[in-house]
Amino acid sequence: MAERVRVMFTEEEVDKRIREIGEQISRDYAGKTVHLICVLKGGSFYMTELAKRITVPVTLDFMSASSYGSSTKSSGVVKIVKDLDEPLKDKDVIIVEDIVDSGRTLSYLIKMLGDRGPKSIKLTTLLDKPDRRVTDVKVDYTGFEIPDEFVVGYGLDYDQRYRNLPYIGVVEFD
């Protein structure tokens, strides 16, 4: 079966949107330091681009969580594969995700990280599929809302491939 990727958002569109979110975060966090937490692996492309567009001081940390179950559906059971290096006490935290789908991963992470005593905790995601939500997750900064389609690129994978695409697309088979 041949695979191709149909473009949903071009590199230029993604760059422009990330720049806008960076400007908004810079305004909202004036006078503060933003502690960005990248959810690996998918969030890494978005986080580095976003961090470059934020003009207030930024610190970074990384964590990796995997949900048990099939590769295209999340089961709601989240395993922490790599925890943060730094404590969150009194930090202004923004969790950076590639996509919020059912919301299960994020609702678990927000609760877990919120218990570590940050001064504030917010969430940004490059993509949001609101129609798929099964838990109540409030996203503070959203790149794009998208329909219920399986997307790749800009950190998002299909069976670990396509993360490196500089645009966001949908895998099609013919």
Catalytic residues: 101
Site membership for Mg ion, residue 143 (CB under 5 A) = no
CA distances to 93, 111, 114, 121 from 117, in Å:
10, 11, 6, 9
- 72 vs 147: CA distance, rounded Å: 15
Least Å from the CB of residue 133 to ligand IMP: 8
Least Å from the CB of residue 55 to Mg ion: 26
Looking at the Cβ atoms of 4 and 138, the one nearer to Mg ion is 138
Looking at the Cβ atoms of 58 and 95, the one nearer to Mg ion is 95
- 105 vs 114: CA distance, rounded Å: 14
110 contacts which partner out of ligand IMP, Mg ion, none, CB within 5 to 8 A by kind? none
Residues numbered 30-59 forming contacts with Mg ion, rule: CB under 5 A: 42
**What SS3 state is found at 126?**
strand
124 contacts which partner out of ligand IMP, Mg ion, none, CB within 5 to 8 A by kind? none
Which residues of the shown chain bind ligand IMP in the complex (CB under 6 A)?
A: 42, 67, 74, 97-106, 150-151, 156
**What SS3 state is found at 32?**
coil
**What SS3 state is found at 62?**
strand
Least Å from the CB of residue 98 to Mg ion: 5
Exposure b/e, 81-96, CB count within 10 A at least 16 = b:
eeebeeebeebbbbbb
Site membership for Mg ion, residue 103 (CB under 5 A) = no
